[in-house]
A = this chain, B = another copy of it.
Amino acid sequence: MLLFDLVNARKAHFSPNTWRVRMALAHKGIDFTVQDVRFVDIAGIRPQGDSIGHKLTIPTIQNDGMWVTDSWEIVHYLDDAFADTPRLINTGADESVLRFFQYWAQTTLHSGIFRNIVLDLYLGLDPADQPYFRDSREKILHDTLENAQAGRQDRMDAFRKSLQPMRLALANGPFICGNQPGYADYLAFGAFQWARVASPLQLLAHDDVVSTWLNRCLDLYDGMGRRESAAVDDLLDDSMR
């Protein structure tokens, strides 16, 4: 099992969607090796076979000669190919409601976080990746990375407020999925781990139950998430926040 994953200049893995897959692999007890890539390397990697298009996207796994891309498709593949491991995505209405959770994470967590760490993400990248990142992200933002990230402290209250459904869920048990972590936890974890690895910004108040949950997720699977070191404050110049 080979997992392709993006690294920044200090070789840290920041991709939120790959973190979903890493946690899914660990949940199932599947050993895997990682092939680190930068954005500039991706075009040079040509997946073999028909199961993936011609352009590599991250995350992608390669297993038994099979290439699978897109985190949702990968987890489906893992559920089917490793049928004796605990399933992460069930069928029917349960699958659809879990997919809704992914859309919530995408529109609330990813979108809420992106603008607040986008310059930090850029500053942390290998210099060879910076031109592509700036160009593509500024097109999405219709603004410079500097302007987009500016004023993030003023947006913090609204972001924290948007986590209210997670807080209500976490009042029922240690994980969003109840007593044990499940794929909804990994979907949300990916977003917070992205922020943690790429930016020194303190997204959560220390006494927030979401912060307690995040620490619990970082401890899972022998601290797999926590071993990926967090961005530290002195990497960045205060004037750039």
Within 8 A of B (CB), among A117-136: none
Within 8 A of B (CB), among A134-163: none
Whether A97 contacts B182 by the Cβ 8 Å rule is yes
Residues of chain B lying within 8 A (CB to CB) of residue A51? none
Cα A176 to Cα B99 with chains together (Å)? 9
With A107-B165, A164-B107 given, is the CB distance from A94 to B90 under 8 Å?
Answer: yes
* Identical subunits present: 2
Of the listed stretches A10-18, A52-60, A166-174, A221-229, name the one at the interface; the rest are far from the partner chain: A166-174
Cα A169 to Cα B93 with chains together (Å)? 12
| Interface residue? A219 (CB, 8 A) | no
| Interface residue? A177 (CB, 8 A) | yes
Within 8 A of B (CB), among A85-112: 90, 92-101, 103-104, 106-108
| Interface residue? A65 (CB, 8 A) | no
Whether A94 contacts B97 by the Cβ 8 Å rule is yes
Q: Which residue of B lies closest to A92 (CB)?
A: B178
| Interface residue? A184 (CB, 8 A) | yes
A80 to chain B, nearest CB (A): 18
Q: Mark A162-206, 1 if CB is under 8 A from B, else 0.
A: 001110110011011110101110000000000000000000000
Whether A98 contacts B97 by the Cβ 8 Å rule is yes
Cα A92 to Cα B98 with chains together (Å)? 13
With A100-B176, A100-B184, A176-B100 given, is the CB distance from A168 to B107 under 8 Å?
Answer: yes
A140 to chain B, nearest CB (A): 16
Q: Which residue of B lies closest to A161 (CB)?
A: B107
Q: Which residue of B lies closest to A175 (CB)?
A: B96
| Residues of A bordering B, CB below 8 Å | 90, 92-101, 103-104, 106-108, 164-166, 168-169, 172-173, 175-178, 180, 182-184
Other than the known A96-B178, A100-B184, what 12 A-B pairs have Cβ atoms closer than 8 Å?
A94-B94, A96-B172, A96-B175, A97-B98, A97-B101, A97-B184, A100-B166, A100-B176, A103-B164, A103-B165, A107-B164, A108-B165
- A-B contacts, 15 of them at CB < 8 A, read A93-B177, A93-B184, A94-B97, A96-B175, A96-B176, A96-B184, A97-B101, A97-B182, A97-B184, A100-B166, A100-B169, A104-B165, A106-B168, A107-B168, A108-B165
